[in-house]
Amino acid sequence: MLLLVDECFPERLVRALEHRGHDVTWATLVCRSAIDESVLSLATTEGRIVITEDRDFGTLIYRYGLAAVGVVIVHGSELPGGITESGDQIADQIDTLKDSLAGFLTTLEPGRVRQRSLGARP
Rounded Cα distance, 36 and 16, in Å: 24
Rounded Cα distance, 58 and 89, in Å: 23
pLDDT along the chain (122 residues), means of 10: 93 92 95 92 97 93 95 78 69 91 93 88 48
Of 76, 98, 96, 72, nearest in space to 87 by CA: 76
Q: What is the pTM of this model?
A: 0.90
Rounded Cα distance, 25 and 59, in Å: 23
